[in-house]
Amino acid sequence: MPPLATVRVGDQHICALDREGAVWCAGSNERGQLGRGTRSPREPVGRV
């Protein structure tokens, strides 16, 4: 993952904005909160 500009956390997930403007998320995705179009219960860090 590239250097980060900011990080936000939810109850069971985390999303970060890198310095190039890309968003990266990981954690619980049971309600689609990672923005990847899936609802897998757990997801590794991935670019949105």
What one-letter code names the amino acid at 46?
G
CA–CA distance, 7 with 38 (Å, rounded to integer):
22
For the entire predicted model, the pTM comes to 0.81
The string of DSSP letters for 1-48 reads -PPEEEEEE-SSEEEEEETTS-EEEEEE-TTSTTSSS---SEEEEEE-
Q: For residue 36, what pLDDT is reported?
A: 85
Residue 29: partners with Cβ closer than 8 Å, 6 or more residues away: 13, 36, 38, 39, 40, 41, 42, 43
pLDDT tens, residue by residue, 1-48: 789 999 999 999 999 999 999 999 999 999 888 888 889 888 788 999
Q: For residue 38, what pLDDT is reported?
A: 87
